[in-house]
Amino acid sequence: MSGRFESLRASSLYCRRCGQAMPVRERLLLVLPDKEIYDYLCTGCADSLGEREVTAGELLRARGAGRPRGR
Ligand SMILES: [Zn+2]
């Protein structure tokens, strides 16, 4: 079964500890009224490789049109 990902995000980042680009796991770090902050963790050593802020507008787009969510 070839699943289709809902959105293409950074799927791999360079990890200093692993010495190569590693697949990352997106982890919800903080939820604010107008944005959410995600942490990118290396799937190899679980080191944090970066953060990403997603604004409310982006979230609405990312979650797909026609499917209002929240509350
Ligand atoms: Zn790593």
Ligand 1 center from residue 47 Cα (angstroms): 6
Mark out the alpha helices in 1-71 (DSSP H runs). 56-62
pLDDT tens, 33-63?
Answer: 999 999 999 999 999 999 999 998 887 887 7
pLDDT tens, 4-28?
Answer: 554 445 689 999 999 999 999 999 9
Report the DSSP pairing between strands 20-31 and 35-42. antiparallel
Ligand 1 center from residue 44 Cα (angstroms): 5
Ligand 1 center from residue 55 Cα (angstroms): 27
Domain spans, the chain: 12-62
Cross-strand pairs, 41: 25, 48
Task: Show Cβ contacts of residue 13 under 8 Å, excluding neighbours closer than 6 positions.
Answer: 21, 22, 24, 40, 42, 49, 50
Ligand 1 center from residue 65 Cα (angstroms): 35
Taking alpha carbons only, the member of 68, 66, 14, 65 closest to residue 44 is 14
